[in-house]
């Protein structure tokens, strides 16, 4: 890192970008950190990239941290005030205490609600014979398995280890690329059920990269869009 | 419904200002309003709840002590907080895994990390872009640029890990990342994206 060269600005910008992205490692990262403390140009470059990229984290669905985190913070700081965290507790939804959502950042809470999925394998035009979708929660354990044959209009959904909160239903959604989720129907908490698609599987799932299951009121989402948390997701695996 | 972004930013900035004056109630509310997002960011990168909890705790302790420096940061409050958390995560990740080790990390273990269910890194990138109305800028990246940047950003992958995961030479992924970021920046600036 020679910051006195004429192309300093450009090199600095590239370094700052790598720093903020997290790909800049080890000594050079620490050195940049140190230099930034005394050099405002370097500091501004780092902050600029951090902010540019940090803005992208707004798409990450939130996960309520365990209460003991706040307790620990208060303890470490020796804060004596009223336990404000109880206010946080009251604002939590009823489902936040269920273990099934623990660590849902990993599963991706609202998944496709922000926008459609873009899976990297380009959508193939090649006809497939059947599809298999393993829907899993944050622990990666399969909860539901959906299978279908190309020429059929039925999607067979088998509950492997699905968990349904009391008084709620599970609804299955197609997550088309770049468009809002499309409901397929309610899925069983136990056993096997066949859902009817509007078109044959070969057409209906042709451009669907993934399916997701959300928690909804009995009878399904009243709005036509998912209203509850997404608890299971899975890629549509095409078998040729 | 959550408040509009500007209302929220104004509120958070106010809470930070009061936190700088050692206002415990403001600090508690700041935590309540931002912890779930920040925890999710940390979980995504560290993939271990215990580690993410540690980072969240450290970050908030630091916020208590340094809230005063926010006023000069010229960033949205949430972005400022997110930077603090991300930096701590990356530090932890790199501490856990010194430079040389990233080159020899067990292949199976690495592969397992990518079996995470839920939105992929690229999906999050697009969602984040959408949330900030910078989707056009993300859309104009090549698929490979998008993927490399998203994996590095959301999952904390190093160049070496990217190279292995994407099965491309190190130089290739480095250039995807570099060119992608350059394009992103040029587009964001052209679109008048501000801090």
The ipTM estimated for the assembled molecules is 0.76
Under a CB-based contact definition with an 8 Å cutoff, are residues A175 and A117 in contact?
yes
Q: What is the CATH number of the domain that holds B185?
A: 1.10.10.10
Whether B123 and B82 share a structural domain: no
Give me the residues of B, 111-170, that contact A with CB < 8 A.
Answer: 115-120, 122-132, 134-135, 138, 143, 146-147, 149, 152-154, 156-159, 162
The per-residue pLDDT for B97 is 53
Whether B181 and B116 share a structural domain: yes
The per-residue pLDDT for B116 is 39
| Domain spans, chain A | 8-58, 106-239
Under a CB-based contact definition with an 8 Å cutoff, are residues A215 and A178 in contact?
no
Give me the residues of B, 2-21, that contact A with CB < 8 A.
Answer: none
Instruction: Decide which of B96, B118, B149 is a domain's last residue.
Output: B96
Whether B83 and B167 share a structural domain: no
Whether B43 and B126 share a structural domain: no
How many Cβ atoms sit within 10 Å of the Cβ of residue B142?
12
The per-residue pLDDT for B124 is 66
CATH: 1.10.287, 2.60.40, 1.10.3470, 3.40.50. Which one for A106-239?
2.60.40
Whether B45 and B133 share a structural domain: no
Q: What is the CATH number of the domain that holds B11?
A: 1.10.1740.10
Under a CB-based contact definition with an 8 Å cutoff, are residues A211 and A236 in contact?
yes
Phi, psi dihedrals of residue B59, rounded to the nearest 5°: -60, -45
Whether B89 and B113 share a structural domain: no
How many Cβ atoms sit within 10 Å of the Cβ of residue A20?
25
The per-residue pLDDT for A97 is 36
Q: What angle do CA B7, A215, A186 make, to 5 degrees?
A: 135
The DSSP code for A62 is P
Whether B67 and B114 share a structural domain: no
Residue of chain B with shortest Cα separation from A141: B117
The per-residue pLDDT for A101 is 40
How many Cβ atoms sit within 10 Å of the Cβ of residue B96?
11
Instruction: Decide which of B96, B130, B154 is a domain's last residue.
Output: B96
d(CA A199, CA A156): 15
Q: What value does the CA radius of gyration of chain B take, rounded to a whole number of Å? A: 18
Whether B76 and B121 share a structural domain: no
Tell me the residue range of the domain where B86 lies: 1-96
The total of structural domains in chain B comes to 2
How many Cβ atoms sit within 10 Å of the Cβ of residue A219?
9
Grouping H, G, I as helix, E, B as strand and the rest as coil, residue A96 is helix
Bridge pairing between strands A210-216 and A154-159: unpaired
The per-residue pLDDT for B130 is 61
- Cβ separation of A88 and B102 shorter than 8 Å? no
Closest Cβ–Cβ partner in B25, B36, B143 for A81: B25
Q: What angle do CA A117, A51, A106 make, to 5 degrees?
A: 40
Among A59, A95, A227, the residue to mutate for chain B (most B Cβ within 10 A): A59
Residue B190 contacts A, CB cutoff 8 Å: no
- Cβ separation of B127 and A114 shorter than 8 Å? yes
Q: What is the pLDDT along chain A (240 residues), one digit of tens a residue?
A: 555 555 778 888 888 888 888 887 777 878 888 888 888 888 888 888 887 786 677 767 778 888 889 989 999 998 875 444 434 433 333 333 343 343 343 344 333 333 333 333 334 456 778 888 989 888 878 899 898 888 888 888 888 889 888 888 899 999 887 778 888 888 888 887 777 787 888 888 888 888 999 888 877 887 878 888 888 888 888 887
The DSSP code for B77 is H
Whether B49 and B108 share a structural domain: no
Instruction: Decide which of B43, B66, B96 is a domain's last residue.
Output: B96
Bridge pairing between strands A192-196 and A230-235: unpaired
Q: Which structure tokens are listed for B14?
A: 């106010």
In angstroms, how far is CA A84 from the centroid of its own chain?
A: 29
**Which stretches in chain B have pLDDT values below 50?**
1, 98-117, 195
The per-residue pLDDT for B3 is 54
The per-residue pLDDT for B129 is 62
d(CA A142, CA B103): 32
Whether B74 and B156 share a structural domain: no
């Amino acid at each position: 890192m020679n910051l006195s060269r004429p192309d300093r600005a450009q090199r600095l910008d590239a370094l700052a970008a790598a720093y903020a992205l997290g790909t800049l490692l080890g000594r050079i990262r620490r050195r940049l950190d140190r230099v930034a403390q005394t050099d405002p140009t370097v500091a501004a470059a780092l902050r600029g990239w951090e902010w540019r990229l940090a803005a992208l984290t707004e798409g990450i669905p939130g996960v309520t941290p365990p209460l003991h985190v706040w307790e620990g913070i208060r303890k470490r700081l020796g804060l004596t005030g009223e336990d404000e965290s109880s206010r946080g507790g009251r604002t939590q939804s009823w489902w936040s205490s269920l273990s099934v959502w623990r660590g849902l950042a990993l599963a991706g809470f609202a998944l496709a609600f922000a926008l459609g999925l873009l899976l990297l394998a380009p959508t193939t035009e090649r006809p497939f014979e059947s599809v298999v979708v393993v829907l899993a929660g944050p622990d990666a354990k399969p909860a539901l398995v959906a299978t279908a044959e190309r020429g059929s209009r039925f999607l067979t959904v088998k509950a492997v280890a699905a968990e349904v909160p009391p008084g709620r239903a599970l609804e299955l959604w197609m997550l088309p690329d770049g468009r809002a989720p499309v409901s397929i129907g309610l899925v069983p908490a136990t056993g096997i059920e066949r859902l009817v698609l509007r078109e044959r599987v070969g057409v209906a799932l042709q451009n669907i990269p993934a399916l997701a299951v959300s928690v909804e009121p009995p009878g399904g989402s009243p709005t036509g869009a998912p209203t509850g948390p997404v608890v299971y997701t899975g890629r549509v695996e095409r078998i040729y | 419904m959550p408040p509009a972004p500007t209302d929220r930013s104004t509120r958070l900035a106010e809470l930070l200002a009061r936190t700088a004056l050692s206002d415990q109630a403001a600090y508690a509310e700041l935590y309540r309003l931002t912890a779930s997002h920040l925890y999710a960011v940390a979980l995504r990168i560290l993939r271990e709840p215990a580690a993410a909890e540690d980072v969240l705790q450290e970050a908030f302790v630091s916020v208590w002590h340094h809230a005063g420096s926010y006023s000069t940061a010229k960033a949205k409050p949430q972005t400022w907080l997110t930077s603090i958390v991300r930096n701590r995560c990356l530090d932890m990740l790199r501490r856990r895994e010194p430079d040389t080790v990233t080159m020899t990390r067990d292949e199976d273990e690495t592969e397992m990390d990518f079996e995470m269910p839920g939105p992929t890194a690229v999906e999050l990138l697009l969602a984040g872009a959408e949330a900030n109305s910078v989707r056009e800028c993300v859309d104009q990246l090549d698929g490979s640029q998008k993927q490399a940047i998203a994996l590095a950003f959301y999952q904390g992958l190093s160049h070496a890990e990217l190279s292995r995961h994407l099965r491309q030479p190190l130089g290739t992924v480095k250039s995807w990342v570099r060119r992608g970021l350059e394009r992103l920046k040029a587009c964001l600036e052209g679109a008048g994206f501000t801090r």
